[in-house]
Amino acid sequence: MDARSRLESDRRTTLARLALLQRDVAAIIAASEGSNADDEHDPEGATIAFERSQATSLVQQAERHLTEIDAALARLDDGTYGVCEVCGAPIPAPRLSARPVARTCVTCG
């Protein structure tokens, strides 16, 4: 599989995961509206707040990964993909297969 196919398949997977995670966050928010979550002494409210911040940070992670994928696709388009952005050396193929969004070589990464 070439870099573009890998990135595009990763992009589809990440978008699907993001959709699920956003649904989780929406469900947690809906659940918190149905309970006394505003009451800070309510243990259930504390659990919901924790779940909500966990789910929100997973959403942010997925969004960041999506940004990295888009940046890697842009580098493929302008011909700088696979070149270390620090030292300019080619990024070894095994590193790119393991991490298609890599922007630096092993030494600089």
Chain residues that interact with Zn ion, rule: CB under 5 A:
84, 86-87, 89, 105, 108
Write out the DSSP string of 7-34. Answer: HHHHHHHHHHHHHHHHHHHHHHHHHHHT
Classify the phi-psi angles of 79: left when phi > 0, otherwise alpha if psi is within -120 to 50, otherwise beta.
left
Q: Smaller CB distance to Zn ion: residue 48 or 68? A: 68
d(CA 16, CA 70): 15
CB of 87 to Zn ion, least distance (A): 3
End-to-end Cα distance, the chain: 24
Nearest one of 98, 101, 95 to 65, comparing CA atoms: 101
Q: How far is the CB of 106 from Zn ion (least distance, A)?
A: 8
Name the minimum Å distance from CB 79 to Zn ion. Answer: 17
Residue closer to Zn ion, measured from CB, 74 or 108: 108
**Smaller CB distance to Zn ion: residue 55 or 84?**
84
Closer to Zn ion at the Cβ: 13 or 97? Answer: 97
As measured in angstroms, the least distance from the Cβ of 83 to Zn ion is: 9
